[in-house]
Structure 1
Amino acid sequence: MPVERDSYGGLLNDAAQDLVGRLTPVIERLTRRLEWVVEQQAQTLRERSPSYQPGHNRVPDDALLPSAQRNVDKTVRTLRDGRSPRPEQVDEAWVARERTEQGLPAGEMLDAYRLAHRVVRDTFVQIAVAQSVEPGAVMQGACLLWDTADAGASQLYEVRREFEIAIARCDEEQRMRFLHDLLRSGLDPSSLGESATSYGLELGRPYLAVRARPRGTTSLERLQSRLEAGTRHHGQAALLGIVDGEVVGVVPRRPDLGGVAATVGISGPAHLMEAGQSFRNASRMLDVAAQFDDVGVFDLNDLGLRVAMAGEPELGTLLVRRYLAPVEAQGDFGAELIATLREYFAAGRQITRTARTLGIHSNSLRYRLHRFEEIVGVSLEDPKVLTELWWALECSARTG
């Protein structure tokens, strides 16, 4: 007795051989009607699947008809084997790639695949009934075809998902290259215009450059999401990305952190052609704010003289030595005087408000201020002294 093998070279068991024997007339008839079944699949998809319709025609006949013929070939192979294919024997990856490149939505691709297989399966059942095949054998054959279609659809889904992930990764890499060139290298006007539009940016509109660093438990992803949400303005887009532990990019308006802990440097408004200089300005604001351990959003107006202080550390050291060192030499009383001076500036140099905050009488506050003037040999009525003293206090707080 000859050994029966399936189309993959495997041995057919007795049950499979029996089923194949009962379905052989159907298989032969289905094979003879190959062209008709192929055309029925194509016609059904053209009528019921939008991307296959003449108005859209994303899938032309030279791609559709070979795919439909493969469906019939798989059906015949499954019926002749008396079993559905194993996972490693399913080969629908090329269909997923081709349909994705043709622009079919994932859901429509899967629906069309199942619809085409239903046409073939229904044809099998019609032929089997016409051939008076035993109902049990018809049911077994139909179940095999169901399993075959399900296995193919599962592979389509997985390959499509992997393909979309790869496309998304490629798109993100391109977006980050554009952002890098925009902020650091500069772009020629033609390249800038084409790419900016694709990312929702407008050449004629000013943007703020942003460089942000998370604080505490804030994650980079959370910070980026908040910056995007906190800069939306009348449909205008922001372009942000994560680079070297920071969130960088351009935004249409000043960010609202919404309680998210971060230090954010921003530039003044400028057009995209000036984004490189804007980003350098935002970077400087971030560096200065970070030196003072500040949390929030900061531009040049917010930081003011602190920007100059950060750039002149030697001057800060000199002013600390000039105004604070003599006071610190007074021990505990000197420390009390320095704390008083900090509160004095914080209260806008208002005597009553400062005294209330410190919990002392106004005359006691005046005495402390007078003692400072005596120790250092200056007058707090002199604007130059006030500026230099504030500078010294800020530098002292920054260095601890």
Structure 2
Amino acid sequence: MENVSSVTSDGSVADVHAERWQELLARLDADAPDIAEGTAAKLLATIPGYELVDAGPIRESSIRNTALIIRVINAGTEPKAEDLPEALRLADERIAQNVPLGSVLHGFRMSLGEILEHLVQLGPEYNIDPGRMLRWSTLMWAVNDAFSTRATRVYRDHEVATAIADSVRRSEWIGKAVSEGSELSELLWGAAMYDVPADTPLRALAATSPDHAKAETQIQKWTQRAGVRVLASVQPSVIVGIVIGEPKRNVDGPGFAVGLGRAEVLSKLADSYKDASLVLKAADNLKLNEVQRAQDLSWKLAIHASPRVTEILAQKYVKPLRESGEFAHEIVESLRAYVDNQMNIPAAARSIPVHVNTLRYRLRRFEELTGCYLEDTSTVIEVSWVLEVFGREL
């Protein structure tokens, strides 16, 4: 091309074919609505996830993207994620419109592609050097990277906040479901929300764990073995849950004490939770790190409810046994075998194992120390009580 020169006002000579990139950027800004129109039509036709979004908001975001590119080109440096408030605004808008993150990132890349294509088409008209156009292209894809980082962070924070809010709502509902006086309408709302049957018998669950951070995971593993589903809430001092389905017996528990209440429909689940709490307290006192029901513990529930009885029985049995020294261990072992085998001495002797006469001697020694006789049913009940509370300490 022939160089054409002109004389400036100060007498110097200027090349009329010099780059006019500022004019090009002004033209790009003026063409932003037209670019936005094409971008919106293409995006809605090709990218899933925008079914609930009108073309208007997409055109508006495309125009903002054009302004962003002009700003970055003028700055001449690659932006950081923190430098892009546009990403925050767009992500917030699309979250409200239920557009998934992948679709948002795809849409932004498409928008940048349309802007870049327009720049390339206008380049020759404004005598833009190919090297400058390449630098602009590099800047634009740096914008894409920074935008993706910022938008992803916004979506992640939103997901975390949503999960926390849902967890709080779920915990509150579970607490109300096992409490007396809850409104039926609210119970039914939660039942629909969390897929809990309203008319099928459920069981309340109460549990404690030394590691609350892992407790819910351990409970969920137990539910898989037991063939049930549990909606659980980990509270500071107790784990509260609703068991959906009838748990299988004789499966490994979660590794800590769990109390299950009676089977009740949702509107009466508070009664089930009373049972579960009582069972849990009794299991804790007895150091039973298993899943327990009221019928499993039976009379042992009274141990937690009657601490004064435990004190009386401790004076009656534990004190004289401890005074017998090391022989106390052998006596306790024999007593446990005797009780566990329904007072059948031969069977009890085999279970330890010791000779039958040895077992009889130990039992007789117990009677001498305590002044009580094992033929008496009351003594057997009291000994069973003492063994549950103190058996591991004797």
Calculate the TM-score normalised by the size of structure 1. Answer: 0.82
Change over 3 Å in CA distance of 1:63–1:348 after alignment to 2: same
- Give distance in 2, aligned partners of 1:291 and 1:243: 20
Change over 3 Å in CA distance of 1:130–1:274 after alignment to 2: same
Matched letter for residue 265 of structure 2: H
Alpha-carbon deviation of 1:301? 1.7
CA deviation vs aligned residue, 1:168-193 (integer Å, no higher than 9, x gap): 22222212221222223542111111
- Give distance in 1, aligned partners of 2:331 and 2:22: 104
- Give distance in 1, aligned partners of 2:328 and 2:232: 48
**Bigger mean CA deviation after superposition, 319-328 or 110-119:** 319-328
Are 1:165 and 2:160 counterparts? yes
Q: Does structure 1 conserve the Cα–Cα contact (< 8 Å) formed by 2:276 and 2:293?
A: yes
Aligned match of 2:335: 341
Once the two structures are superposed, the pairs formed by residues 346-361 of structure 1 within 5 Å of their partners are 346-361=340-355
Query: What is the aligned counterpart of 1:211 among 183, 206, 211?
Result: 206
Are 1:139 and 2:134 counterparts? yes
Are 1:278 and 2:272 counterparts? yes
Identity across aligned pairs (percent)? Answer: 27
- Give distance in 2, aligned partners of 1:111 and 1:390: 71
Aligned match of 1:222: 214
Alpha-carbon deviation of 1:261? 2.3
Are 1:247 and 2:242 counterparts? no
1:267 counterpart SS class: strand
Matched letter for residue 140 of structure 2: L
- Give distance in 1, aligned partners of 2:371 and 2:75: 105
Aligned match of 1:44: 42
Change over 3 Å in CA distance of 1:377–1:149 after alignment to 2: closer
Alpha-carbon deviation of 1:299? 1.0
**Bigger mean CA deviation after superposition, 284-293 or 58-67:** 58-67
Once the two structures are superposed, the pairs formed by residues 292-331 of structure 1 within 5 Å of their partners are 292-322=286-316
Are 1:193 and 2:188 counterparts? yes
Matched letter for residue 286 of structure 1: L
Change over 3 Å in CA distance of 1:305–1:86 after alignment to 2: closer
Aligned match of 1:7: none
- Give distance in 1, aligned partners of 2:276 and 2:253: 21
Matched letter for residue 99 of structure 2: L
* Structure 1: gaps (5+ residues): 1-19
1:231 counterpart SS class: helix
Matched letter for residue 300 of structure 2: R
- Give distance in 2, aligned partners of 1:76 and 1:327: 90
Alpha-carbon deviation of 1:376? 5.2
**Bigger mean CA deviation after superposition, 262-271 or 77-86:** 77-86
- Give distance in 1, aligned partners of 2:19 and 2:33: 24
Root-mean-square deviation (Å): 3.0
Alpha-carbon deviation of 1:333? 5.5
Alpha-carbon deviation of 1:324? 5.8
* Structure 2: gaps (5+ residues): 1-17
Change over 3 Å in CA distance of 1:399–1:267 after alignment to 2: farther
**Bigger mean CA deviation after superposition, 250-259 or 267-276:** 250-259
Change over 3 Å in CA distance of 1:372–1:168 after alignment to 2: closer
- Give distance in 2, aligned partners of 1:48 and 1:94: 23
- Give distance in 1, aligned partners of 2:226 and 2:278: 29
Change over 3 Å in CA distance of 1:102–1:185 after alignment to 2: farther
Alpha-carbon deviation of 1:258? 4.2
CA deviation vs aligned residue, 1:315-366 (integer Å, no higher than 9, x gap): 3333444456566666666664344222211333232232234443223323
Once the two structures are superposed, the pairs formed by residues 85-96 of structure 1 within 5 Å of their partners are 85=79, 87-92=81-86, 93-96=88-91
Are 1:389 and 2:378 counterparts? no
Q: Does structure 2 conserve the Cα–Cα contact (< 8 Å) formed by 1:228 and 1:238?
A: yes
2:268 counterpart SS class: helix
Are 1:151 and 2:149 counterparts? no
Query: What is the aligned counterpart of 2:107 among 112, 116, 130?
Result: 112
